[in-house]
Structure 1
Amino acid sequence: MQPSDNISSDQEICMHFDTGSQPFFGAIIPPIFGNSLFVYPTHEDFVQAENDQQNHYVYSRGTNPTVEIAEKKMAALEQGEQCKCFASGMAAITAAIFNSVKAGEHVLCISNIYKSTMNLLTYMEKFGVTHSVVYSTLKEDIEKAILPNTKLIFLENPTDMNLQLVDLKSIADMAQSCDIRTIIDNTWATPLFQKPLTHGIDIVIHSASKYLGGHSDLVGGALITSEEIMKDLFNKEYLLFGGTMGPREASLLLRGLQTLPLRMKVHQENTKQIANFLSSHSAVAKVNYPGLRSKHNSELNNKQLTGFSGLMTFELKNANYETVKAVINKVRIFKIGVSWGSFESLIMSPNFGNNAETLIKEHVSPGLIRLSVGMEPAEKLIADLEQALEL
């Protein structure tokens, strides 16, 4: 669904687009339709709705008015035709991948992607679906990694942990020429800073638990794609898997979207300051953040990224578990935990003390530390990191 002529900016979509206030007695916030089912005046009306559940309210596992408002907003933000919201980001990823491949086919992952997505692909080997990873973002390397039975390319931009940039249009064009579907996890950039469908990507996934919700009280996901793909996916992976978003979670998503543009400005500004501080610190070997200036970043940023979120990583010169642990245990404002994208600042590392060889194999430094930069004053966050890096 496209935004109407008088709703032209992302901020207006987040705040006002299709909230349905008139049918709901002028309520400024859409009500939560907590009912599980919807009734009809006649059997004929019921049969018509049952045969077209995508466009009728029958059972909230399929469609629900509160969830539908969130879906319309997400589709408009991504400039896509249709969206369905899921109970988690992984539920959306699972539906998208299962809809895209079958037994005997191959999935190609570009560089590092979310660990749970990789675990899902490994699990799918029991169904005859194989996968591989090309640890490069260069078009020529990706092209060489395509197999005769490759039917799906899965990527994140920027990539997980190392935050490398991928040329979306180049990948989409190459995939289309080979009859390969493309799926991107766009959680890092949010729909505000990157719109992959406009570059030719087929399916966009979001974890709504991150910036879209923004308050660490929502677990949810979203999938945005074409009407053609969604029609098939709705009747199969959406209805049959049952991983749908509930109306209460949709209400939290709508609340988060209202302030998303304002929050992202703070995340971006704070993270740029922290990235610049870490870039000049004697204990830091490398900072991974697309917002830092470089020739490669500037070229791709100008084409596809219009801003930068608050997730970044840095690599310690003393790249071992003991040093990583010491730094993380010394922070005071940053909290140790998974997930990211909310108001609070978080810190973690993929180095668990027993997996250094695996990390190196996956092109991730054992000295890597991930920061989710929140909305606390930047100077306080920098001071917290500065004292933690005094080893």
Structure 2
Amino acid sequence: MMNDQNISTLMAEVLSDSSGAITPPIVQTSLFSFDTYKDFEDRMAGRTNQAIYTRIQNPTVAAFEGLMAKAEHGEAAVGFASGIAAISSTLLAFLKPGDRIACVEHVYPDTYRFMERILRPFGVEISYHSAAEFENNEDLLAGVGIAFLESPSSVIFTPLNLPKVAQLAKRHGTLTMIDNSWASPVFQRPLTLGIDIVIHSASKYISGHSDTVAGVVVSSQPHIARIRDLTLSLLGAKLAPFEAFLLTRGLRTLNARMMQHQATANLFVDRLAAVPQVVKINSPGANEVPGLTGRSGLISIEFNDNVDIPKFCDALKHFRLGVSWGGFESLILPARVGLAQAGEKNSMQAFGVSPNLVRMSLGLEDAEDLWADFMSALSQSAT
């Protein structure tokens, strides 16, 4: 848990200058007018910061961004229309042809696709490395412009010693970015550990209701100003006021929800250790690496060959088959389906995971009901 003010307490600070509304009002407008020529001139010259156009700034979006900056202990934040918009816009704001990226292996599949299908053809060099390489190879980041991290990584959920990686990156002048969607700012605050830029798919735990697609980036004022000036403004993947309103709603309950997700995940991890069909459990727990203070509800399980994966998935009653995660409902994603994409070959080999691996998002339903459902489906899928 956060040792200082939690996100619910921070809500009052963000609203302190408003009209007294309990939640930030939805300012559903595309543009903002000016009272005088001088006001308009000053804003266009950058001498004031009055809202001008919702593609660039909006009061409802600003309220959410203010909350996220405080939650992650950053100076500023900028919202986006999706998690991949936040990732791609942040990378593009700091890259040029010929630059090098060192990326953690088992990265979010669409981040991998963006790097391979967009950045590499534009002349950006990309290499993929294990957590052990990032932590122990002191020369790994020599000549590298950006280290793109996840802790834990996607699907396999390998955690990183972020303070150690940050120290090595600073030695080589490498800018560090991390996708912190798995832990949320409740269980991990990378900026306090030395990382430069934090990115979230806010569609996940930040929203918490499976009704919003959004992203957000938190960092120093200069870094956020660069992203706003270049890629938010010119690529246009802005966060809409209504989505920002929903995300602010989600932040109100983030601490409480993460505690429930953790409790259910702890129950599953403890009991899965005694299930003979389970080969491996991927789910880092509290204090496994410095700065990680809790376990989220997103885990993965590798089964042995005695489990019929399609039959197991179809036998589940409370778990639904689907992508994404972080909402009330529990979800399951078999790797052999979830990592594939139309037109791609060898997806499983590219991401380096077993075809017997399934990812489970443990939701907010009763933990014992979820466990009974899991075991019942497992018994029906034995071969």
Q: TM-score, normalised by structure 1?
A: 0.90
Residue number among 169, 183, 188 corresponding to 2:182 in the alignment: 188
CA contact (8 A) 2:10 2:70 kept: no
The answer for the alignment partner of 2:334 in structure 1 is 349
The answer for the alignment partner of 1:18 in structure 2 is 14
Identity of aligned residues (%): 37
Query: Which secondary structure does the structure 2 equivalent of 1:219 belong to?
Result: coil
Are residue 173 (structure 1) and residue 167 (structure 2) matched? yes
Distance apart, 1:52 and its partner CA: 2.5
Q: Distance in 2 between matches of 1:81 and 1:353?
A: 36
Distance apart, 1:142 and its partner CA: 4.7
Distance apart, 1:143 and its partner CA: 4.0
Distance apart, 1:252 and its partner CA: 0.1
The answer for the alignment partner of 1:244 in structure 2 is 238
Distance 1:145 1:95, change over 3 A: same
Q: Distance in 2 between matches of 1:207 and 1:33?
A: 23
Are residue 338 (structure 1) and residue 320 (structure 2) matched? no
The answer for the alignment partner of 1:4 in structure 2 is none
- How much is the aligned-residue C-alpha RMSD, in angstroms? 2.1
Distance apart, 1:138 and its partner CA: 4.1
CA contact (8 A) 1:54 1:62 kept: no
Query: Which secondary structure does the structure 2 equivalent of 1:364 belong to?
Result: coil
Query: Which secondary structure does the structure 2 equivalent of 1:318 belong to?
Result: coil
Q: Distance in 1 between matches of 2:353 and 2:129?
A: 14
CA contact (8 A) 2:131 2:159 kept: no
Query: Which secondary structure does the structure 1 equivalent of 2:268 belong to?
Result: helix
Distance apart, 1:228 and its partner CA: 1.3
The answer for the alignment partner of 1:32 in structure 2 is 26
List per-residue Cα deviations over 1:26-71 (Å, max 9, x = no partner): 2212110001101111112112112339932000111111110100
Are residue 9 (structure 1) and residue 16 (structure 2) matched? no
CA contact (8 A) 2:7 2:71 kept: no
Residue number among 83, 91, 111 corresponding to 2:105 in the alignment: 111
Are residue 317 (structure 1) and residue 304 (structure 2) matched? yes
Distance 1:54 1:265, change over 3 A: farther
Matched AA of 1:74? M
List per-residue Cα deviations over 1:154-207 (Å, max 9, x = no partner): 011011111111010111111111111110000000011101011111110001
CA contact (8 A) 1:14 1:257 kept: no
Q: Distance in 2 between matches of 1:272 and 1:354?
A: 26
| Number of equivalent positions | 373
Comparing 340-349 and 226-235, the one that deviates more: 226-235
Residue number among 335, 345, 363 corresponding to 1:374 in the alignment: 363
Distance 1:232 1:136, change over 3 A: closer
Q: TM-score, normalised by structure 2?
A: 0.92
The answer for the alignment partner of 1:93 in structure 2 is 87
Distance apart, 1:233 and its partner CA: 1.7
Q: How does 1:138-153 map to 2 (within 5 A)?
A: 138-139=133-134, 142-146=137-141, 148=143, 150-153=144-147
The answer for the alignment partner of 1:76 in structure 2 is 70
CA contact (8 A) 2:232 2:238 kept: yes
Distance 1:257 1:354, change over 3 A: closer
